[in-house]
Amino acid sequence: MTTLAKREFTLENEYTYNRAGAARWIFSHVRRYPLLPLITILAALFNNMAYSQVQVFIGAGFDQIASSGWEVNALLAISLGVMVAATLQGLTGLMRNFSMEFIAQRVERDTRDELYVSLIGKSQTFHGKQRIGDIMARATNDVRQLNFMFSPGVMLITDGVMGAIVPILIIARMEPRLLLTPLVFLALFGVTLYDYNRRLSPVSIAQRDQFGVMNTGLAEAIAGIEVVKANVQENYEWQKFSQNAGKFRDYFVKQGKIQAVYLPMLMFALCWAAGFFHALTLWDAGAISLGQVVTFMGLMGTLRFVTFISIFSFNLVQLGAASADRILQLLNTETDLDENEAGVDRPIKGKVVFENVSFGYDADTPVLKNISFTAYPGETVAIVGQTGSGKTTLTRLINRIFDATEGRVMIDDVDVCDWSLEALRSQISTIEQDVFLFSRTLAENIAFGCNGATPDAIEHAAQEAQAHDFIMSFADGYATEVGERGVTLSGGQRQRIAIARAFLTNPRILILDDSTSAIDSATEDQIQKAMRRISKQRTTFIITHRLSQIRWADRILVLRRGELVDQGTHDDLLARSEDYRRIFARYD
């Protein structure tokens, strides 16, 4: 097992897998269930032994009939032997299929768990660079492909290997000279199969990648359906999707062309005929009996199944390996932040200090430059500045959505990097303009982040956020299901639900990022009264264009192009700061 990569979230007693490569990673998943692969191999071995024994019995039956003094009892014994062998073949086949199917389902389940935990543990920087459709393709289709790789892919290959070994051993025991043709075939089979997989592998990889591209385009079009319709771009999006789907289809056509010229089947046909001729010459020379010729051809025919199933079983393994590589790319992508589970874990009082803080998404383009200020517990701090001045980015350094590239951000005189990430974020609540609601009930959305919240507490938070009245106007009240991202609610309603969520979690630090932009003035006045009441007990950061909120802030930070150009009260800044007067005049 390997150690877990740095990330923001882990599970207690989480099982770790070897992520050094696709093969090792897959093997580390299978290794969790060591008994199942053993059962599969043994069942496949006995299954093919039973099938081969049927051929031996059939050959013995031909010899018995060809003899001058054949006996009914002997034929009955041979028939009984065929029945027993066939029954054993059926039972062992069931065991083989069951054990491998069990492995396939367990690997799929474990991979989904592993990938989901990894994704929610990645930093915001990671997710900001990803295409949602491609992640969904890897988390659904690629993980499912691992299942198919094992069942029927690996199961058929395992059965095929045993289906080649067992007949060869029986043929060797029966007459070593009959091994010539099967061994020549196996050599040719290995060469042609290697060439087949060599040509198929890049097509399989490209096929999986193109599926991700196609899925990304579809996800973006559906997520932005309002924009698509508003700009009459349905035809463009359809053409774009058709092109991506066409490329995906083209890879299937390439795969079909490679499979159409599958040389191993040709090699088998030639060797099967050559083997029959060889067996007849040995029979003619008196080296073997007619029944042994029949047995040999039955055993040689077993290799036909081995050859046939390889045309798609190896393709399933190729696709599974390509999917494993794509999944590992996500799992092994390093994240910027660590949860610091052993860090400081105590109630936050609310003092926030920025000490010469600079930050940039990359080294060449700093977003914030040398920011220094102190916010004391219970203070309300307004952050103003032109668009792109770094207001939202500054607040995201407080709860470690991002880490400062230079300087320090401290809470209660402790560097935020030294806090346990869970303890830090559980005591900081952020309400943004673009509110995200889950496809759940209104009560569940309000209680998100506050496990065990009572209905009375949820209702009280909704009343404080001026959301109770519109919630009760719905037929199901707090049990009303909202659509994905809350599309069934207006912008103002979504913001009030988010504010109620923040009130319920009772954070020590509250960040409001233009959180009342979609709310009418009368409702906003009511919410502001509630905010003023609760803000006395916590440190509050406000990013807003509403002058009524800026005025009552204890401290106002003025940003310009990522720099803190001034700070103070509304009256002080109005008197001395040209930047603030310019901003204030624009808001007014």
- Residue pLDDT, tens place only, 204-223: 888 878 887 888 888 778 77
- How far apart are the two ends of the chain, measured CA to CA in Å? 61
Helix (H) or strand (E) holding 151: none
Question: Are both 22-331 and 352-587 of the same fold?
Answer: no
Domain ranges of the chain: 22-331, 352-587
The amino acid that residue 340 corresponds to is N
Most distant CA atoms of the chain, gap in Å: 124
In this predicted structure, what is the pLDDT of residue 355?
Answer: 95
CATH topology of domain 352-587: Rossmann fold (3.40.50)
Measured in degrees and rounded to the nearest 5, phi and psi for residue 358 equal -130, 150
Measured in degrees and rounded to the nearest 5, phi and psi for residue 152 equal -100, 0
In this predicted structure, what is the pLDDT of residue 415?
Answer: 93
- Three-state DSSP at 58 gives helix
- Which residues of the chain are under the pLDDT cut of 50? 1-3
Give the Cα separation of 133 and 487 in Å (integer): 20
Q: Which residues pair with 273 in a beta bridge?
A: none
**Which CATH superfamily is 22-331 part of?**
ABC transporter type 1, transmembrane domain (1.20.1560.10)
Cβ(567)–Cβ(354) below 8 Å: no
Please state whether the peptide bond connecting residue 152 to the residue before it is cis, i.e. omega within 30 degrees of 0.
yes
Cβ(541)–Cβ(567) below 8 Å: no
Could you report the per-residue pLDDT of 523-574, keeping only the tens digit for each? 666 666 666 666 667 898 988 877 777 888 889 999 988 999 999 988 888 8
Give the Cα separation of 319 and 251 in Å (integer): 12
Give the Cα separation of 280 and 290 in Å (integer): 8
Cβ(160)–Cβ(302) below 8 Å: no
In this predicted structure, what is the pLDDT of residue 343?
Answer: 86
Q: Which residues pair with 384 in a beta bridge?
A: 558
pTM listed for this prediction: 0.74
In this predicted structure, what is the pLDDT of residue 309?
Answer: 86
Tell me which residue has tokens 């440190």. 539
**Residue 370: partners with Cβ closer than 8 Å, 6 or more residues away:** 356, 357, 358, 406, 407, 563, 564
Pairing of strands 428-432, 509-513: parallel
CB hemisphere CA count around 211 (13 angstroms): 21
